[in-house]
Amino acid sequence: MTKLIFHILNIIFTIFYLYPGSILGFLIYRDFGKQPQITLDFIVSSNHVYAFAILSFLGFFNYYKSHKYLIICYFFSISVFFEFFHLIIPNRSFQFADLFGNIFGVLLSLLIFILYNFWRKK
């Protein structure tokens, strides 16, 4: 069941991330140009940290044991490629804070997942 949730979330995430405008902004504010903000940004974009942390944790939970290096490479790749796609997608913009938020979200979930597995084995 968690694999199905991961794959559905991965598809939704890809659509939301690559759509030329903010789908969530339209659903909440009726404005494709306005992005909802969960918490204030610090050095990195907090929305991107949350999104990539949740998605990558689900991926690690489902595929880390059987495809460790592939799933790690996958999440780091999409965290970079998705942000670079914003250079060519209309109404989207590349931002280093978003890129570093993506990468930090993947690193955070990987760290949490490794610690979870370490404590579970004890």
pLDDT one-digit tens code per residue, 25-48: 888 888 887 887 778 778 898 999
Enumerate residues 6+ apart whose C-beta is below 8 A from 44.
Answer: 97, 98, 100, 101, 104
Are the C-beta atoms of residues 110 and 56 closer than 8 Å to each other?
A: yes
Closest CA to 91 of 32, 44, 45: 32
d(CA 45, CA 13): 16
pLDDT less than 70: residues of the chain: 122
Q: What is the pLDDT of residue 36?
A: 79
pLDDT of residue 41: 78
Determine phi and psi for 86, rounding to 5 degrees.
Answer: -65, -15
Task: Write out the two tokens for 71.
Answer: 């799933």
Place of tokens 């760290």: 111
